[in-house]
Amino acid sequence: MMALMPVDEAQAALLAGVTATETEWVELAEAGGRTLAADLAALRTQPPVDVSTMDGYALGKDVASDGWYSVVGEAAAGHAFGRSLASGEAVRIFTGAPVPEGADRVALQEDAEREDDRVRFATRAPSGAYIRKRGADFIEGETGLFAGTRLGFGALGLAAAMNHARLPVRRRPRVALIASGDELVKPGTNALSHQIVASSTVALARLVDDAGGEAIDMGIAPDDLSALRDRIRSAMTGGANVVVVMGGVSVGDHDHTRPAFAAEGMEPGFWKIAMRPGKPLMHGRLGRVHALGLPGNPVSTLVTGLLFLAPLVRAMLGRDDVLPVAETAIVTAPLRANDMRRDFLRARLSVEAGRLIVTPVANQDSALLSMIAAANALIVRREFAPAAEIGEAVDIIRI
Ligand SMILES: Nc1nc2c(c(=O)[nH]1)N[C@H]1C(S)=C(S)[C@@H](COP(=O)(O)OP(=O)(O)OC[C@H]3O[C@@H](n4cnc5c(N)ncnc54)[C@H](O)[C@@H]3O)O[C@H]1N2
Ligand code: MOO
């Protein structure tokens, strides 16, 4: 029997030599969830001048002998006080307003005793009080965001503040999804008893989308070599970066995925991985295009999608976080010792008294979508892991 390749080795082989997609420019408002293709420098300094962090009074260094300052004007956000402060003068100032020249501190309005146009304070604010210095956030020319960053709300806010209206992002990798099997019909059709609803396309498309790719539904190919070859070819013509065939990767007489890719000139990568579910997973290259055969059992399709396809998409985006992040949680059921296949148990993760608790779902059959729908994590059981007792910490991946 052909030896099974360890998961880590297969992931490394898959991700080695991935080329990032091209750069495209998008409007800031369209850039959410995309991945930066280049480092982004600040186009201005923020704050551009020293500003007040509170509502109060801007004061100079010198205190008048009687403690009273004369209030000579006002500074509000967007409205600077026009001149330098002289000794003994105060300017009424509001949050975000430029601190006038000659002022070195801001005193809170809560601490002020105001009488007409003069003001005094019981205690003296220290030098620099309530002043946010020019450039405290970023300085013009400084790199604020790095290539490979997924643009979440914080990064988008920073990009806007740095005065970028458009951002360079990686084009979404195009992932063609081909379902294969004579038994498959589209969701919502009048399926006969020997037919199965093709559920993996929509599920995998969601996973691809979430990873930052663009899923292309290539429909259902029958269990026929030339039909599958046609489908692979049209995916290539359509500009796919990854061609995925779901099902038909095992060793049965009707499993045409590998032969079809091979007939299209695939340079073989790996086939058969030491993992459960997902053993028959296959990868190869059609020139620069990645060929992936994902095992047909729906849970196997999604687990291999999560561990291989999604990381491949993220790698093509040049993302700085490619592989799923492992965390630990306390297991609530005993787990038996593992064999040489890394096991990914579908499980339910929750928080109890501030700790992560994880429970495997009732049935680990890789055909049961009800079980993966009920799960929100995978428990990762490493190769030859010893039995685990209730209360032990185990590795998990959120899904
Ligand atoms: N003799 C052996 N038989 C099998 C092995 C093996 O090593 N030796 N591996 C088993 C494992 S593990 C898996 S997983 C399956 C996967 O095989 P295939 O990739 O060839 O999948 P199919 O036979 O095409 O389909 C399996 C199952 O999944 C259903 N399916 C397929 N595509 C979809 C879809 N898009 N949506 C919903 N359901 C789908 C299909 O109807 C079958 O019931 O092979 C084992 N056999
Ligand atoms: O991948 Mo099969 O993945 O064990 O059902």
* pLDDT digits 0-9 by tens, 293-310: 999 999 999 999 999 999
Kindly indicate the confidence band of residue 61, based on its pLDDT and cuts at 50, 70 and 90. Answer: confident
Count of C-beta atoms within a 10 Å radius of residue 61: 11
- What does the pLDDT read at residue 119? 95
Q: Decide whether any atom of ligand 1 lies within 6 Å of the 280 Cβ.
A: yes
Ligand 1 touching residue 296 (CB < 6 A): yes
Residue 2: the pLDDT is: 67
Q: Is 63 a residue whose pLDDT tops 80? A: no
SS3 303: helix
- Sheet holding 214-221: strands in order across? 214-221, 174-180, 242-246, 289-294, 282-286, 267-271
Confidence band, pLDDT 50/70/90 cuts, at residue 214: very high
Q: How far is the CA of 7 from the centre of ligand 2 (A)?
A: 14
Measure 255 CA to ligand 2 centroid, in angstroms: 14
Residue 220 Cα to ligand 1 middle (Å)? 15
Sign of CA dihedral 198, 204, 209, 213: negative
Task: Verify whether ligand 1 is closer than 6 Å to residue 298 (CB atom).
Answer: yes
Question: What one-letter code names the amino acid at 260?
Answer: A
Q: Which residues of 226-265 are buried (b: 16+ CB within 10 A; e: fewer)?
A: eebbebbeebbeeebbbbbbbbbbbeeeebbbbebbeebe
Asked whether 278 lines ligand 2 (CB < 6 A), one says yes
Dihedrals phi, psi of 226, to nearest 5 degrees: -75, -30
| Ligand 1 in reach of 183 Cβ (< 6 A) | yes
**For the CA of 281, the nearest atom of ligand 2:** 1
| Residue 216 in tokens | 């292309």
- The ipTM of this complex is 0.96
The predicted-structure confidence for 21-59, as pLDDT tens digits, reads as follows 999 999 999 999 999 999 999 999 999 999 999 999 999
Q: How far apart are CA 27 and CA 167, in angstroms?
A: 6
User: Mind listing the pLDDT tens digit for each residue in 246-270?
Assistant: 999 988 888 899 999 999 999 999 9
Please tell me the predicted confidence (pLDDT) of residue 177: 98
Q: Is the pLDDT of residue 383 over 80?
A: yes
What is the atom index within ligand 2 of the atom nearest the CA of 277?
Answer: 3
Give the Å distance between the CA of 201 and the centre of ligand 2.
18
pLDDT at 254: 84
Any atom of ligand 1 within 6 Å of the Cβ of 295: yes
Residue-level pLDDT at 180: 96
Q: How far is the C-alpha of 369 from the C-alpha of 310, rounded, in Å?
A: 19
- The residue nearest atom 4 of ligand 2, judged by CA position, is 277
* Domains of the chain, CATH where assigned: 7-21+171-316 (3.40.980.10), 28-46+147-170 (no CATH), 51-132 (2.170.190.11), 327-398 (2.40.340.10)
277 lines ligand 2 (CB under 6 A): yes
Closest ligand, as measured to the CA of 298:
1
Residues with Cβ within 8 Å of 267's Cβ and at least 6 positions away in sequence, in order, are 284, 285, 286
pLDDT over 90 percentage in the chain? 93
What spacing in Å lies between the alpha carbon of 218 and ligand 2's midpoint? 23
Please tell me the pTM assigned to this model: 0.92
Higher per-residue confidence, 195 vs 2: 195
* Residue-level pLDDT at 81: 95
pLDDT higher than threshold 80 for residue 369:
yes
- Compute CA distances 232 → 89, 280, 291, whole Å: 78, 19, 9
| 302 CA to centre of ligand 2 in angstroms | 11
Token couple for 330: 């306390």
Element holding 179 (H helix, E strand): strand 174-180
Pairing of strands 174-180, 242-246: parallel
Residue type, 175: V
Alpha carbon of 210 to ligand 2 centroid (Å): 24
pLDDT, average across residues 362-384: 97
Peptide bond into 222 cis (omega under 30): no
Give the number of the ligand closest to the Cα of residue 364.
2
Which of 300, 302, 303, 338 has most ligand 2 atoms within 8 Å of its beta carbon, as the pocket-test mutant? 300
Residue 76 CB contacts under 8 Å (≥ 6 apart), including other chains: 93, 94, 97
**Is 60 exceeded by the pLDDT of residue 1?**
no
Mean pLDDT to the nearest integer, 128-151: 97
Q: Output the CA 95–ligand 2 centroid distance in Å.
A: 61
How many whole angstroms separate alpha carbon 258 and alpha carbon 283? 9
Average pLDDT over residues 356-367: 97
The tens digit of pLDDT for each residue in 104-136 reads 999 999 999 999 999 999 888 899 999 999 999
Residue nearest to atom 45 of ligand 1 (CA): 250
Question: Whole-angstrom Cα distance, residue 252 to residue 262?
Answer: 17
User: Ligand 1 centroid vs 298 CA: distance in angstroms?
Assistant: 8
Beta strand spans in 181-304 (E): 184-185, 196-197, 214-221, 242-246, 267-271, 275-276, 282-286, 289-294
Q: Is the pLDDT confidence value at 204 over 60?
A: yes
- Please give the pLDDT value at position 212: 97
Residue 64 has pLDDT above 80, yes or no: no
